[in-house]
A and B are shown apart, each in its own frame.
Chain A
Amino acid sequence: MIEVKNISKTYKAGSELIKAVDGVDLKIDQGEFTSIVGHSGSGKTTLLSLIGGLTKPDSGTVVIDGTDLWSISDDDLSEFRNLKINFIYQFASLIPTLNVLENVMLPTAFSKSDEPFEDYARELIEMVKLTDKVNSFPSQLSGGQQRRVAIARAFINRPEIILADEPTGDLDEETESEILGLFHNMNENQKITFLIVTHSTDIARGCNKRYRMSQGVLKSE
């Protein structure tokens, strides 16, 4: 369960202070499929990073499964992320020197688990329909294919939570629906909690819970 209490984050842009997230409260139960809709610059991505422990809030707390993310050490937080959370970004996030299989397996480099991840990685690649590209490098893939690799990678550690930031932003409609289908499938079968940040109301419509964010303030829809 994700429990966000009165969380705020301010940035300094030149001499101006921008309140990206302003006193947000949020509660997401395990296995929920939640969306946050908002315009660009509304603070969605920052909120996602705060929930994922990638940046420290100025105030407020983020508690996931009883762990207050900012009360533990940086190393423990890294381990926590590796075990429980994974991210899907709105940009190409592959390592250009690694091939598809290696990119998908990348999070396992920081895992304590002895599990042989290769078979599962191949399964995930098959799931995103890139079996024939296993040995290809990112530069040999289209933008959509790269996005699918990133999605496959997000599941390799068997995370409990996926935080997705515009996961289908630049994908065609067909691929978008395929990806969303995959997300729902994972959500139903593996009880993975999804929190998707999007400006697409269509994507939001298929979620259990929907929020709207505007000028750093989160409101339930």
Chain B
Amino acid sequence: MIKITLFHIANQNIRRKIFRSLAIAVSVAVVAGTLFSITTIMDSVETSLRRGTERLGADIMVVPANAEMKAKTALLAGDPSTFYMDKRIEDKVRQTEGVKKAASQLFLQSSEYECCDVADMLLIGFDPNNDFTIIPWLTKRLNRPLEDNEAIMGRALTAYAVGSNVRFYGTDIPIAGMLEETGMKFIDNSVFMPFKGLRKIAEDSATRGKETVDIPLDKVSTVLVQVNPEITAARVAIFIEHEIEGVKAIVSEQVIASVRKQLFILLRSILSISIVLWIMAMLLIGVVFSMIVNERQREIGLLRAMGAKKGNIFKLVMTEASVLSLAGGIIGISAGGLFLYIFKGFIRSSLDIPYLWPSAAQFSLLISFCLFLSFITGTLAALYPAIRSMRMEPYEAIRRGE
């Protein structure tokens, strides 16, 4: 049984001028698509940076003074790099004012690829007794102490599962746990082992491996620091550099903040272009709807004569605008999503920073936000024409439309 509704009339109106309707929908789509892509990237970067800092677990990363750039690159881009300083620095750091916890790590590039050995990944030695950056972040809690000959894998090393073995310099190492994904290659692509285990590998490599490993066990690559809550990390970093010769104390929040600042300047300029686009789209839609209302004056008058209330006429125009805006929003978001999907690799590599896609919940929130914005775009733009159409006196509307 057919029933005529306002939505049906609006829908038929949209179809009547398909090109005009498409023009409106596409202009909303462009805005929605750009905004969706940009906000998604910005949100991803922000989340990744925040999670990266949280995940690093350390407020400060102490490295050799000459390795500052290398360390920052490792921290952000995750390129495996090795640098060393005296192991005694760990104790000095621990004694510095404001330091709550300090844990050293030793970075080792794994051997050149040979059959069955893992190559070109960062093997990181750590002390499980002082650790606060590795074990708390296991995907599955390890309800026992980590054995010296066991390893923990970064999330990106998907070829290995917990319980399987990984071979380093001829020694098979059982994998005791897997770390949560961080987006930082420095953590995701690394294997973590207790110092003692590393020493054993070095000793055994002479007999088992194809090359003897010279592990600098009297050295450390970095000392990760957690500061007392009542003092800022920036001050503790100053204290560390002041007290200890030859080190650089990198405040992770500052690194992240500077990256965030640089990146957001770029993204903000794109965002401001989208805002200009948005305003233009609003103006365009406003003009088009004014034209529509003028063109349909007689129809509006006729509908009023048939008994349509002012509110019905308002709803009719607004329904048309909402349907077009939402359709434009859906098209734009889909196109934006497709763009992000197709170019995900490019985006990830060109940003050169930790990058994690938003969670499903965050995605839904972003989609809802962009849809809402699209809806607002059309409805706001059509608001004045809709009010004008509603206020027309029926007889005047019919006469003027003749």
Contact = CB atoms under 8 A, between A and B. Distances in A.
Q: Say if the two chains contact directly (CB < 8 Å).
A: yes
Interface of A: 46, 49, 52, 54-56, 74-75, 78-79, 81-83, 86-87, 89, 91, 93, 95-98, 101-102, 105-111, 116, 118, 157
A54 B16 contact: no
B307 A54 contact: no
A97 B16 contact: yes
B13 interface: yes
Contact of A110 (B12, B299, B312, B393): B312
Contacts of A107: 306-307
B309 interface: yes
B6 interface: yes
19 contacts: A46-B395, A54-B305, A54-B395, A55-B396, A78-B307, A78-B308, A79-B307, A86-B306, A97-B13, A97-B15, A102-B12, A105-B2, A106-B4, A106-B306, A107-B306, A108-B3, A108-B4, A110-B303, A110-B308
Interface in B1-53: 1-6, 8-9, 12-13, 15-16
A111 B398 contact: no
A87 B307 contact: no
Contacts of A78: 304, 307-310, 312
B2 to A, nearest CB: 5
Interface residues of B, number: 32
B42 to A, nearest CB: 42
B310 A75 contact: yes
B402 A110 contact: no
Nearest to B14: A97
A72 to B, nearest CB: 12
Nearest 6 A/B pairs, CB to CB? A82-B307, A55-B395, A97-B12, A54-B395, A107-B306, A49-B395
Contacts of B4: 98, 102, 105-106, 108-109
A110 B298 CA distance: 17
Nearest to A50: B395
Contact of A118 (B1, B12, B16, B398): B1
Contact of A75 (B298, B309, B393): B309
Nearest to A56: B393
Contact of B304 (A54, A83, A91): A54
A54 B306 contact: no
A91 B401 CA distance: 11
Contacts of A81: 305-307
Interface in B287-342: 298-299, 301-312
Contacts of A101: 2
Contacts of B307: 78-79, 81-83, 107, 110-111, 157
A106 B6 CA distance: 10
B98 interface: no
Given A79-B309, A86-B306, A108-B4, 17 more contacts: A49-B398, A54-B304, A54-B398, A75-B309, A78-B304, A81-B307, A83-B307, A93-B298, A97-B13, A97-B15, A102-B2, A105-B4, A107-B306, A109-B6, A109-B308, A110-B309, A157-B307
